[in-house]
Chains A and B, each alone.
Chain A
Amino acid sequence: MSSKRGTHEQLVGGMLYDGIPSLVAAAHELKSPLALVRQLSLLLEAGDITPDEQARMLRQISLTSERALRLTSDLTRATRLDDAMFALEPINPQQLCIDIAHELAPLFAAHGRRLSVVSRKHPLLLVANRDLLRRIITNFSDNALHYAEADSAVEIQIRALQKGEIIRLGVRDYGPALSSDMWRSLKSKLATAPQTVHARPQSSGLGLYIASQFADAMKGTIGVTRHRDGATFYVDLHASRQLPLL
């Protein structure tokens, strides 16, 4: 039995990494969409499929390619964080989140899921870089898409914390709960390295690492909350002091 356990930890542990984006993690993240695109292409080449199936497979290829391209763009941006100047400005996160939900709607629909923004009556303003914030929320949404149960909704939520000093943007999915062991491991890593949030086990955690780097560049933090029926990955950013002037 001990050899089985050893094999398990070696294989699963080997896909996680601690804090530093590695070529191995990037390769792993890109392998899945590329493998899917390749196999779909091979089936298309083989023919013997109906026009409806062909259209569906072509759509899957384009949407999967777009997901892979988003990751490569994020990787490029993450490696240049130290060299670049990212202007921070007051942003209405609700409008940004609505734009993201609109942009990702075809991908979610193709997977039989929905992405929605929980609207606030009184919009909040936060200080962020629009591009980096967009990438974080898109990343969380993409992550949630993978874990959400079929036909379920993924929600982008916006909340004010600490008497309005902090604005939290969370992406809530409704899927399998994180196991207690997994949760303890996640919380332990959060406690010792607050900027290193690991993904659930099927992922190398690269996407969340990139999100944490982007949040750090905006003086924010990311984190995760476990629910009985899923999880919320969130980013906390400073509220804009321009809000009272509006």
Chain B
Amino acid sequence: MSKKTVLIVDDDAWLAELYARVLQKAGYTTHVSPHAIDAMSAIDDVHPDVIILDVLLTGNTAFTLLHELQSYGDTGAIPVILCTNLAADISLDDVKPYGVKRILDKSVMVPEDTVAAVRSVLL
């Protein structure tokens, strides 16, 4: 079975690197995009199975990217995990229409939570 690919969209390079390290150890292939524009190109190139997405990004916010993803049948089906410091302000029900399956709170999560979240949305 081929490795699943996780696209990490976060403009904090060190945090993205940390998530990538943990996910790679768990057997996933990772790709990091620092902003929404790069992420759209990466989605076409690497065809991710899951997207881990920060909310407040450089340039456009995550919601611009989520709108774009929902515009196409294939990208709209990719499960999205929001990973944000704004978790307390976001209701999962509100963002489900964007394809968001899980929300992780950066301020209380442990690094391995990314692995658990990815596993859960791929079930």
Which A residues form the contact surface with B (CB < 8 A)? 3-4, 7-8, 11-12, 14-15, 28, 31-32, 34-36, 38-40, 42-43, 46, 48, 53, 60, 64, 111-112, 146-147, 149-150, 175-179, 200-203
Contacts and interface: CB of A to CB of B under 8 A. Distances in A.
Given A31-B85, A36-B12, A201-B56, A42 B110 contact: yes
A202 B106 CA distance: 15
A18 to B, nearest CB: 18
Contacts of B56: 12, 15, 201-203
Contact of A7 (B37, B85, B94, B110): B94
A201 B57 contact: yes
Contacts of A28: 85
Nearest to B34: A150
B58 A7 contact: no
5 contacts: A7-B94, A7-B95, A11-B90, A36-B15, A39-B106
Given A34-B107, A39-B110, A64-B14, 12 more contacts: A3-B97, A8-B61, A11-B86, A12-B63, A35-B106, A39-B106, A40-B14, A40-B18, A43-B111, A201-B57, A201-B60, A203-B56
A236 to B, nearest CB: 26
B11 A31 contact: no
B12 A12 contact: no
Interface of B: 11-15, 18, 21-22, 25, 34-35, 37, 54-61, 63, 67, 85-86, 89-90, 94-95, 97-98, 106-107, 109-111
Contacts of A34: 107
Contact of B63 (A8, A39, A46, A111): A8
Nearest to A176: B59
B55 A11 contact: yes
A53 B22 CA distance: 13
B46 to A, nearest CB: 18
A200 B64 CA distance: 14
Contact of B59 (A14, A43, A200): A200
A176 B22 CA distance: 28
- Closest 8 A-B residue pairs measured CB to CB? A176-B59, A202-B56, A8-B63, A35-B106, A31-B85, A35-B107, A7-B94, A60-B14
A202 B15 CA distance: 15
A60 B111 CA distance: 16
A15 B54 CA distance: 14
Nearest to B56: A202
B73 to A, nearest CB: 17
Given A11-B86, A43-B22, A31 B107 contact: yes
